[in-house]
């Protein structure tokens, strides 16, 4: 494991930026089925590409239990049979994001940043490191030390993986994003080889902090603020109804 400086990353991200920061819409969606959230992401991405939505958007939500397969997924990394997934009430979806197999479920903060990299830096590797920095900055703020792992995408704490990241982009606009385990039932990760990493131990904010773990809403607010810090944007709440109006959705 190699620890990285979150503060240095954040300062580097914000340098040479005007004090008048561009807005970023933050939308809290609650519990949303995976397929519905994917359709919404794609709609927001299309609007961001066309310019119909002029600012970056951060969708924050939770999913019912679901296993998703990224573009790099290998069959052997899905340990559970379809029958076992059904018994546990877990859906299965293939996704266009990068990465291998992962799990989403209640108690996990999922973030889908719809970001126009033409307004930041046209470099997906840079973007992945920035998303990691967002989560590291937020975790540091609640008292959890965090680190990167050499050659791997995601965020760890003391050698245990606490957040997974997988993204997709078209015309330099991103979607998909990150999953931070907050109060997640970690037993669901036994159904898979998380992110295709054999021997990885998954953890959560609740497991690391015990009774001192903050509520989901507090973690979501901190992550949104950290996103603004790292990406040099001014986060502002946008209600789901207003987002639907911007997208002309029913």
Q: DSSP for 203-218? A: --HHHHHGGGPPPHHH
If pLDDT is split at 50, 70 and 90, which confidence band does 79 have? confident
Residue where the block lists tokens 């903060």: 109
Structure tokens at 145: 């030390």
Reference 115, options 36, 45, 164; nearest CA is 45
Catalytic residues: 195
The pLDDT of residue 75 is above 90 = no
Instruction: Kindly give, in sequence order, each residue whose CB lies less than 8 Å from that of residue 27, ignoring residues fewer than 6 positions away.
Output: 57, 58, 59, 60, 237, 238, 239, 240, 243
If pLDDT is split at 50, 70 and 90, which confidence band does 37 have? very high
Over its C-alpha atoms, the chain yields an Rg (Å, rounded) of 17
Identify the DSSP state of 198. Answer: T
The pLDDT of residue 116 is above 60 = yes
Torsion of CA 187, 204, 115, 121, to 10 degrees: -120
Residue where the block lists tokens 């911007």: 246
Task: Give the pLDDT of residue 7.
Answer: 37
Architecture of domain 23-243: 2-Layer Sandwich (3.30)
Task: Give the pLDDT of residue 72.
Answer: 66
Buried b / exposed e across 137-161, counting CB within 10 Å, b at 16+? bbbbbbebebbbeeeebbbbbeeeb
Task: Give the pLDDT of residue 134.
Answer: 98
The pLDDT of residue 9 is above 70 = no
Q: Are 54 and 184 in contact, with CB atoms under 8 Å apart?
A: no
């Amino acid at each position: 494991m190699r620890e990285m400086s979150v503060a240095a990353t954040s300062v580097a991200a914000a340098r040479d930026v005007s004090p008048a920061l561009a807005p970023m819409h933050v939308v809290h969606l609650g519990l949303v089925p995976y397929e519905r959230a994917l359709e919404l992401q794609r709609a927001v991405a299309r609007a961001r590409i066309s310019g119909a939505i002029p600012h970056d958007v951060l969708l924050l939500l939770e999913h019912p239990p679901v296993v998703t397969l990224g573009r790099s997924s290998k069959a052997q990394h899905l340990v559970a049979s379809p029958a076992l997934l059904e018994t546990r009430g877990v859906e299965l979806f293939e996704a266009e994001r990068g990465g291998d197999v992962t799990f989403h479920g209640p108690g996990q903060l999922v973030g889908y940043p719809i970001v126009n990299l033409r307004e930041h830096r046209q470099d997906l590797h840079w973007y992945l490191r920035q998303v990691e920095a967002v989560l590291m900055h937020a975790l540091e703020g609640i008292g959890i030390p965090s680190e990167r792992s050499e050659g791997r995408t995601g965020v760890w704490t003391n050698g245990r993986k606490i957040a997974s990241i997988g993204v997709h982009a078209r015309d330099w606009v991103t979607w998909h994003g990150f999953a931070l385990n907050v109060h997640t039932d970690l037993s669901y990760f036994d159904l898979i080889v998380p992110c295709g990493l054999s021997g990885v131990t998954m953890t959560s904010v609740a497991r690391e902090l015990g009774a001192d773990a903050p509520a989901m809403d507090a973690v979501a607010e901190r992550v949104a603020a950290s996103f603004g810090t790292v990406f040099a944007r001014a986060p502002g709440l946008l209600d789901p109804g207003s987002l639907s109006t911007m997208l002309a959705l029913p």
